[in-house]
């Protein structure tokens, strides 16, 4: 399988003092099964690939790119089942969302909250999200713990769902990345404090990915099934 990413710059630097703040705004990428068995093509124009093809729009909000990586993994997985998946930064908008069979929204956690653009989007598009099959996934460090991987036991997701006018049909909760050296001084020590309190790695050279990719794969399969049901109606 070959995967591609957009040709536009994948990151934009936000000048904030000496901090290396990086907002990931990759170009939209489309994954779809190619006529060559198992292969995927990227960055093609959206279009109906055939009567049995489900079209999925995956919108993500990511600061250091890990939620994007998970979104692209879901896109590639769904493409192996014949789905067409457009993976797009939420900041680029979703005016065409009603044309899809399913919508997936993904966000990382930053300082105890999902990104504001996600909550704003959900508020503004609650009706559409309620009408279409839809899924949500949340990426955080606390989700590295097996005891924080359900919508009931993950405080961020529990709060999100409680306050949201949208009740996603499917929710994925995935561990994120800890990379102290990538953060500015304030964030580095703030996250280290959280790690101390939650018994995580505190060595400032730690760079670890807590994502369980088998879990993401299983979530992608559930997204495909959700979109297929919509396509069948
Ligand atoms: C500035 C900052 C604040 C964070 N705050 C939290 C937090 O409050 N709780 C948590 O569980 N994870 C927190 N994280 C961890 C991120 O959710 C995790 O690194 C995730 O992989 C980031 O995904 P992204 O690259 O898509 O933004 C924080 C990370 C950063 C850099």
Q: What's the CATH code of the domain at 223?
A: 3.40.50.360
Average pLDDT, the chain: 84
Residue for token digits 């505190």?
Answer: 202
Section 202-210 average pLDDT? 98
User: Nearest residue CA, atom 20 of ligand 1?
Assistant: 176
Q: Assess whether 49 and 157 both reside in one domain.
A: yes
Query: Ligand 1 in contact with 224 (CB < 6 A)?
Result: no
Label residue 27 by pLDDT band (50, 70, 90).
confident
Query: Ligand 1 in contact with 64 (CB < 6 A)?
Result: yes
> Per the domain annotation, does 5 fall within a domain?
no
> Per the domain annotation, does 143 fall within a domain?
yes
pLDDT at 121 over 80: yes
| Domain count of the fold of the chain | 2
Query: Ligand 1 in contact with 63 (CB < 6 A)?
Result: yes
> Per the domain annotation, does 198 fall within a domain?
yes
Residue for token digits 């609650």?
Answer: 126
Query: Ligand 1 in contact with 171 (CB < 6 A)?
Result: no
Query: Ligand 1 in contact with 62 (CB < 6 A)?
Result: yes
Q: Assess whether 106 and 164 both reside in one domain.
A: yes
pLDDT at 47 over 70: no
Tell me, what's the pLDDT at 5? 33
β-bridge pairing 102-110 and 55-61? parallel
> Per the domain annotation, does 6 fall within a domain?
no
Calculated CA dihedral for residues 207, 210, 212, 213, nearest 10 degrees:
-30
- For residue 88, the CA-to-ligand 1 centroid distance in Å is 20
- For residue 49, the CA-to-ligand 1 centroid distance in Å is 37
Q: Assess whether 139 and 202 both reside in one domain.
A: no
Tell me, what's the pLDDT at 63? 96
Q: Assess whether 56 and 103 both reside in one domain.
A: yes
> Per the domain annotation, does 19 fall within a domain?
yes
pLDDT in tens, 4-15: 333 222 332 222
CA-CA distance, 109 to 140, in Å (whole number)? 5
- Which residues, in sequence order, are bridge partners of residue 136? 105, 171
- The answer to whether the beta carbons of residues 100 and 55 sit under 8 Å apart is yes
Section 220-231 average pLDDT? 89
């Amino acid at each position: 399988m070959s995967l591609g990413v957009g040709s536009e710059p994948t990151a934009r630097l936000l000048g904030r003092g000496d901090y290396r703040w990086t907002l990931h705004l990759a170009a939209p990428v489309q994954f779809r099964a190619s006529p060559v068995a198992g292969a995927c093509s990227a960055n093609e124009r959206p279009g109906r690939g055939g009567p049995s093809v489900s079209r999925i729009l995956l919108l993500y909000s990511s600061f250091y790119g890990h939620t994007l990586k998970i979104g692209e993994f879901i896109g590639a997985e769904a493409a192996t089942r014949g789905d067409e998946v457009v993976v797009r930064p939420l900041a680029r908008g979703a005016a065409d969302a009603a044309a899809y069979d399913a919508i997936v929204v993904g966000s990382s956690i930053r300082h105890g909250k999902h990104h504001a653009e996600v909550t704003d989007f959900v508020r503004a598009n609650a009706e559409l999200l309620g009408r279409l099959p839809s899924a949500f996934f949340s990426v955080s460090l606390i989700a590295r713990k097996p005891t924080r991987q359900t919508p009931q036991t993950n405080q961020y997701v529990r709060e999100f769902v409680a306050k949201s006018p949208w009740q996603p049909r499917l929710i994925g909760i995935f561990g994120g990345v800890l990379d102290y050296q990538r953060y500015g001084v304030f964030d580095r020590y703030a996250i280290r404090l959280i790690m101390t309190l939650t018994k995580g790695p505190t060595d400032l050279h730690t760079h670890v990915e807590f994502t369980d990719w088998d879990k993401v794969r299983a979530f992608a399969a559930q997204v495909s099934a959700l979109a297929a049901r919509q396509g069948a109606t």
